[in-house]
Chain A
Amino acid sequence: MDNVTISKKDFLDFVEKKIQEGDSKVIGVVGKGSSYVFDRLESSSRLCLDYDVTILPPKKYFQPPREVLLRFITKKADSYITENANEPLTIIGIHYYDLAAISLMDRAFSEGNRDENYLKKRENSLLIGMYPTQAFKYRFAGSVVKGVQPYKAADLMLADMGDGNYTVEIVTEKGRAYLSSAVQKPFTYSLEELENAKKRIKDDQKIPVPIEMSPDFLVKNHGHPVWEVFGEKCYSCGSCVLVCPTCYCFDVLDEVDLDLKNGKRIRVWDGCMLENFATCAGGHNFRKTKAARFRHRIFRKGVNLPLKYNYYGCVGCGRCAHACTSSIAGPVKVLTYIQDNQ
């Protein structure tokens, strides 16, 4: 992996040039009220890479909240046609833990049956990642995201060197080609300086159980009171799964247009914390209680995904803990409670 240095000003000029060229839609982090979101950039001046966390992770570009899968003429089963909307996309400023989450999504949508609606959007995307430059009080990514996981999704990776320069790690050839028209300087920092820049922001939180031990720890505590205690406080609002960068469950629905003639089959975000997620025709709900749903979500992250894909389903972004109206969703809080109440 090559490293180059680009001044912040030259990087912004480069982004501006890319926006004007219009070869791909350029997405970046922008301010929204007191928060940050990923949004389309019409000008590089809106780009704000000095951010704590975005409200939603960038998964919305690959698995949109509402995505058309098929179009049809109502009640004519021989009229189905597939739809797979995608366009070249560049996303700038994805924190490393969100990249780790995308690499998990890539696996989930390509393993077994290949989901081309997701995968085509990914193939058509170029991802520029970075390391956080602002603290976020719920973040514990440093204790759960290990090794090269973020680099499986990134094309380029930025590290703010604190002196007006970014170091850009060139992860893929696609990234190298994209960057070729940027004003680049040789990389003159030491590798230690680069590592320090990556770790400049220390996470406020840390997972209390080493991530490698979490499957055993959770399985052992399947019957722990925590699920009842925390489940009791859950409003089943689904905020925690909505903001989660590794949650990809969906529902499939038909929508009929106003002319009542044409329609579309869409998939929309769904989540296991919603009351009827596991309800079957006839009304039997396989996860009827809030405690069962609460446990399922945590087990999905800490036990089931590691078993299925050899990945942990949590990247420590802290969004769920932040979004939860009952202050119960954060894995750190759940695991700490279990540990404190053995």
Chain B
Amino acid sequence: MAINTGVNETGSSSLFLPEVATLIDKREMTDVDSFFTFKLKNRPLGHRYGQFVELSIPGIGEAPFSISSPPTDDHTFEMVIRKVGQVTAAIHSLSPGDVVGIRGPFGTSFPMEDLKGSSLLFVTGGIGLVPARSAILYALNNRGAYKDITILFGCRDPGQRLFTDELAAWSTREDITFMETVDKCEDGTWDGHVGVITTLFPNLKAIDPTDTYAIIVGPPVMYKFVIMSLHDMEISDKRIIVSLERNMKCGVGKCGHCQINNLYVCQDGPVFYYDDIKLLKEAI
């Protein structure tokens, strides 16, 4: 089974010319993360689950951001953007109605169609929930197409939790398993599980390793430990799907910043079957 690949259509003659998108909605999620809804002016974005766009504000700069929503009927697309630098600070200062530049969508996607009929185990950490959410929402919207759905989410502390309304709704659904954890909580505001995400694994009910696909998205440090836990559960590398973070500066496979050996994460990834990259020494 292969991850969807192919040359990305940018819809313009220059690889670097953005299209105009309008900010539709914006709300704060944490001290540093805000949720944004955008819509392209002239066409639906046409993205798949787990892809990313290059978003720019002229004079400030351009940066890659994961799309957090599955394709929608109203052609809007959602992102959660963490304020860490100049570009993201400028995006945080936007108001609904403001316009930004968008290039993309770029990259490979979670093969949600191919996974139908199997069980899904999402293992998400921190802001990794953002791209994973596009696949999670698709799976939940098409609940009947999958067997068991398990979602694990971990973050540094309770203040870092994203999509809290949705997490609450997932935790009460009876047709899925949802568990979350925080690495630490020192102010007593959390009465849930505490520990890194792999400490949730012993609490999982039995998973059929021959019929489950694991989807992992999280900070770089998380992958190795999660994959070791999945190996303990006898899930094979062919059933482990990862989305990797790199500095995807140009998005079109030229600038070199996102290279892992001969792969360009912006084009060959960010979504990979672990089996395809496990021998690349710098991947995980």
Contacts and interface: CB of A to CB of B under 8 A. Distances in A.
Interface in A276-314: 277-282, 284, 286-287, 292, 296, 299-300, 303-305, 307-308
A273 B274 CA distance: 28
B245 interface: yes
A272 B257 CA distance: 8
Given A109-B254, A222-B281, A252-B62, A279 B247 contact: yes
B89 to A, nearest CB: 12
Interface stretch (B9-17, B185-193, B235-243): B9-17
Main secondary structure of the interface of B (DSSP, over half): loop
B250 interface: yes
Closest 8 CB pairs of A and B: A249-B256, A74-B59, A72-B58, A307-B262, A304-B262, A82-B14, A113-B252, A77-B99
Nearest to B256: A249
Given A252-B61, A270-B257, A305-B262, 19 more contacts: A70-B14, A77-B56, A78-B99, A79-B58, A108-B254, A112-B253, A113-B10, A249-B257, A250-B256, A251-B249, A254-B59, A254-B60, A265-B56, A278-B246, A278-B257, A282-B82, A282-B84, A304-B262, A307-B262
Contact of B18 (A77, A256, A263, A284): A77
Contacts of A116: 13-15
A115 B85 contact: no
B20 interface: yes
A73 interface: yes
A284 B250 CA distance: 18
Contacts of B7: 112-113
Task: Identify the interface centre among A254, A292, A305: most chain B CB within 10 Å of its CB.
Answer: A254
Contacts of B282: 286-287, 292, 296
Interface string A64-85: 0000011011111111101010
Contacts of A79: 58
Contacts of B261: 299, 303-304, 307
29 contacts: A74-B58, A76-B58, A77-B99, A77-B100, A78-B20, A80-B58, A82-B12, A84-B14, A112-B252, A112-B267, A113-B7, A114-B15, A115-B252, A116-B13, A117-B16, A249-B255, A250-B256, A251-B257, A252-B255, A254-B58, A254-B60, A278-B247, A281-B88, A286-B246, A299-B261, A300-B259, A303-B261, A307-B261, A307-B262
Interface residues of B, number: 47
Interface residues of A, number: 53
Interface of B: 7-8, 10, 12-18, 20-21, 41, 56-63, 82, 84-85, 88, 99-101, 219-220, 245-247, 249-250, 252-257, 259, 261-262, 267, 281-282
